[in-house]
């Protein structure tokens, strides 16, 4: 018998919702099964463990962010002012709908000992940074060392802005951040 992809999708949606509300550690397989309205046996038919569900959520989540980064950097107009380009990148990446909390839970899970998840996230971060570096080089920085440094900085800034956004510390001044980066960069 072949697993039902619709059911797998329903399980992932329910698991993501529960993890977003309760965190990874406070979400059990029983919680997920109850949320979907299936038995734990049916859940095990589709996913053999909680880690399998987490890996599927991580893959889906990381692909959403990868697509957003690619879309963002591919739609940059090279004639735009440099501060508007950086502002656009920062704003676009940090406003990916409903992924900030899941992203932080996945990062925490990876940092606290889930080595396979850590490796998946590490590979994606390298991919994101290399994508940004490549597009920055094409768009407005000819110097490879500078574009590499800016790509690292942008990824780090985005992570920090996601945390600040989740904590709702205050309204984030994306335009001012971008202008500051460009003014200090050149």
Better-predicted residue by pLDDT, 174 or 164: 164
Better-predicted residue by pLDDT, 29 or 157: 29
HEC string of 115-131 equals: HHHHHHHHHHHHHHHHH
Highest mean pLDDT among 23-32, 117-126, 136-145: 23-32
Please give the pLDDT value at position 94.
57
Q: Is the model's pLDDT at 55 over the cut of 60?
A: yes
- At residue 45 the predicted structure's pLDDT band, cuts being 50, 70 and 90, is very high
69 vs 93: CA distance, rounded Å: 6
Percent of the chain surpassing pLDDT 90: 22
Please give the pLDDT value at position 165.
74
Better-predicted residue by pLDDT, 69 or 33: 33
Please give the pLDDT value at position 71.
66
Please give the pLDDT value at position 73.
60
In this structure, whether the domain defined by 1-48 belongs to CATH 1.10.10.60 is answered with yes
Please give the pLDDT value at position 97.
47
142 vs 104: CA distance, rounded Å: 33
What would the mean pLDDT of 157-165 be, rounded to a whole number?
78
- At residue 87 the predicted structure's pLDDT band, cuts being 50, 70 and 90, is low
Comparing CA positions, the residue from 68, 63, 83, 92 lying closest to residue 140 is 83
173 vs 18: CA distance, rounded Å: 31
In this structure, whether the domain defined by 50-185 belongs to CATH 3.40.50.720 is answered with no
Q: Is the model's pLDDT at 172 over the cut of 60?
A: yes
Domain boundaries of the chain, sorted by first residue: 1-48, 50-185
Residues 3 and 51 sit within 8 Å (Cβ to Cβ):
no
Helices (H), ranges, the chain: 5-22, 29-36, 40-46, 50-74, 82-94, 100-111, 115-139, 144-167, 174-185
pLDDT in tens, 88-124: 666 665 555 456 778 788 888 889 988 988 888 888 8
Q: Is the model's pLDDT at 82 over the cut of 90?
A: no
Better-predicted residue by pLDDT, 83 or 117: 117
Average pLDDT score, the chain: 79
């Amino acid at each position: 018998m072949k697993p039902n992809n619709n059911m797998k999708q329903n399980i992932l949606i329910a698991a993501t919702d529960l993890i977003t509300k309760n965190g990874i550690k406070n979400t059990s397989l029983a919680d997920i099964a109850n949320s979907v309205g299936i038995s734990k046996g049916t859940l095990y038919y589709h996913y053999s463990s909680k880690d399998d569900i987490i890996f599927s959520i991580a893959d889906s989540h990381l692909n959403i962010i990868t697509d957003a980064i690619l879309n963002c950097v591919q739609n940059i107009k090279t004639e735009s002012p440099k501060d508007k380009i950086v502002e656009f990148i920062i704003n676009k990446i940090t406003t990916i709908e409903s992924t900030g909390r899941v992203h932080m839970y996945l990062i925490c899970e990876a940092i606290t000992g889930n080595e396979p998840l850590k490796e998946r996230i590490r590979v994606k971060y390298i991919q994101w940074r290399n994508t940004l570096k490549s597009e920055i080089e094409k768009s407005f920085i000819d110097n490879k060392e500078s574009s590499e440094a800016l790509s690292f900085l942008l990824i780090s800034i985005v992570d920090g802005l996601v945390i600040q956004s989740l904590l709702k510390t205050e309204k984030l001044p994306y335009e001012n951040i971008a202008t500051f980066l460009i003014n200090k960069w050149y």
